[in-house]
Amino acid sequence: MDRRTFLRRAGIGGAGIAAVAAPVGTYALGQHLGSRQLSGNYSASVKAGMIRGGVNVWWSVSTTDKVLALTFDDGPTEQFTDEVLDVLARYEVPATFFLIGELVERRPDHVRRTVEAGHEVANHTFDHFSAAIQSPDEVRRTIERGADAIAEVVGERPRWFRPVRGEVTGQVLQAAAEVGHDVALWSVSRDPGNGTAIDDVDGVLRNYVDGLHEGALVIFHDGIGRSAFELTGPDEELVLARRTEIDALPGVIERYLAEGYRFVTTTELIDEHGPGPVGRTASAADEG
- Catalytic pick among 32, 124, 221, 273: 221
73 counts as catalytic: yes
Contacts of 275 (CB under 8 A, 6+ apart): 13, 14, 15, 61, 62
Contacts of 129 (CB under 8 A, 6+ apart): 138, 142, 164, 226
Contacts of 185 (CB under 8 A, 6+ apart): 22, 57, 58, 59, 162, 166, 168, 217
Contacts of 52 (CB under 8 A, 6+ apart): 282, 284, 287
76, 223 in Cβ contact below 8 A? yes
- Catalytic pick among 32, 73, 181, 182: 73
Active site residues: 73, 221
